[in-house]
Every structure is written in C-alpha cells, then in structure tokens.
Amino acid sequence: MSRQISIFLSSMVIFGMIHLDCQVRAQPAKEITNSIGMKLVLIPKGTFQMGSPETEKGRHYNETQHEVTISKDYYLGVHEVTQAQYEKVIGKNPSGFQGAIVGNENADFPVENVSWHDAVEFCKKLSELREEKAAGHVYRLPTEAQWEYACRAGSKTAYSSGESSESLGDYAWFYENRNRQTHPVGKKKANAWGLYDMHGNVWEWCSDWHEEYPKGAVSDPIGPKEGGDRVYRGGFWGNEAAYCRSANRLSFSPSIYTPYGGFRVALSPSGTPKQAE
C-alpha cells in the first residue's frame, strides 16, 4: 500500500511540474519584434482613471474623469509607425517630412499624411503578410482607452513624466523644441512601460468614433458604433504642452490627412477584441 501511495504522490508531483511548466511557457513575451522589424511591448491589464481632474492645467471640457478597466493584456508598438515600415507594407511613402527632405536619409521618421482609413489599411495588410499570418498576428489601432492607459503607464499626472510640463522636453517633441518638423522615433526618453513619443511628434489615430465620456465606470470601452470623427491622441511637434497631456483628446474626419498625424499599432496576444468598424 505504501508503495502505491508513493507512486501516486510521485505522479502528482510530475503532473504538477508539467502543468506549471505549461503555464510558464504559455505566458506571452514581454516584447516582440515582428517580420518588418517593428517592436511591440506587452501592456498589462489593469484599472485606471481616464480623463483629467477639473484642477488640471490646460484641461478641456470633454475629459470627464471616470474609471476604466482594461481586462486583457495587449501589445502596443514601442514607436509610432515609421516611414520605412509603412512603405514596406503599403509600397509608398506619403509623408511630407521625409528623411531626404530634412537632411537625414536613414532616420526613422514617423509616417504622416495618413488618414484613419490609411492606418486601418496598413494594419490589415500587415496582418496579411505571410510571416504575420503564420504567427497568428492580427494588427489593429488601439482603442482610445488602451491608448491613454498605455500613455499614462501607471501615472496619474498630466504627463507620464509628472504634473508639470517642465520635464516634457525630455520625453517629447513639441512646440518648445520642435524645429518645425517631425523627428526620428525613439530619440527622447521612454515612459515607464517602454513606449516612446506618446507625447508629441505626431498625433496618433485610435479606433474609436469620438463621443462624450460616460459618467460611471466601464470595462474595455470601444466607442460608439457610428459617428462623424475618429479619435486623435498625443499631440504633435507644433503643439504647446497642454495639447500633449495624457488626457487630451482631439478628433477628425477619418478621411483627413495632415503632416501632423500618424499612428501606432496594437496587437492582442490571443485574438482581436471586437471594435467599431
């Protein structure tokens, strides 16, 4: 009997080790690099206060503070999509501030002059690349809530770098240091979660139609099913600091394109959340 018990216990230990090993191996990587050299970092699920308190300097009326839960981890591009990446997928570079024009042919400038529709098409075509399909990667634009959550990176202040804009120049290209153009991605400091240029450089498209915030707590908001304008986030190189705040919101027609706007991509470790088309 004792021998049978011993065998049973040994089997349970081995089963437990195998189960634990499977759990460990099932954990998604903290950072991945895809087939076109784009780096994405894993953003952990959590709950945060979206919007801004009424006392925040530069606050706009449409930033009603409310609790938002992001219930699943997701990946977000470490950088804004570059011109080289966009051209590799789409076959052309629509940007006004191209490397050769501003004196640096090899720099990774963010793509701009892209509409919301252009950004969605890029995500679609990137997902259709043979290597990305084999990896099960389905790219998309982040929701507005995912964007702000990642921008804040655990912070509760006006900027991910703090309440004051005095140190913003260490993290962002904006009005005070812009030199009237975009700049190569990743040249400033990253936020606490390893994301660059979340403040400034170029505005970034989000997936949502624009609407007023809810007054209560919500989980995984994706915006309304229809609307007139899509959400723009982050500010650009010509904006004053207040427009680069974590909570600042803007919206434009999804057909508009300007030398101020680009985007970054999101990716779910498993599957793609349903969102407004």
For residue range 181-238, what is the model confidence (pLDDT) as tens digits?
999 999 999 999 999 999 999 999 999 999 999 989 999 999 999 999 999 999 999 9
CA-nearest of 216, 72, 67 to 142 is 72
CA-nearest of 257, 204, 228 to 77 is 204
CA-nearest of 240, 229, 228 to 159 is 240
Show Cβ contacts of residue 204 under 8 Å, excluding neighbours closer than 6 positions: 80, 147, 232, 233, 234, 261, 262, 263, 264
CB atoms < 10 A from the CB of 1, how many? 5
- pLDDT, one tens digit per residue, over 159-175 is 999 999 999 999 999 99
Domains and CATH numbers, the chain: 31-267 (3.90.1580.10)
* pTM over 0.85, yes/no: yes
What 3-state class would DSSP assign to 139? strand
- Let me know the angle formed at the C-alpha of 225 by 259 and 250, rounded to the nearest 5 degrees: 30
Distance between the two ends of the chain, CA-based, in angstroms?
A: 64
In angstroms, the Cα distances linking 275 to 154, 162, 197, 224, 227 are 24, 32, 25, 9, 14
pLDDT: which is higher, 29 or 116: 116
Distance in angstroms (rounded) separating the CA atoms of residues 131 and 136:
9
| pLDDT classification of 179: cutoffs 50, 70, 90 | confident
Strands (E), 34-100: 39-43, 46-50, 66-70, 74-77
Question: What pLDDT sits at residue 105?
Answer: 64
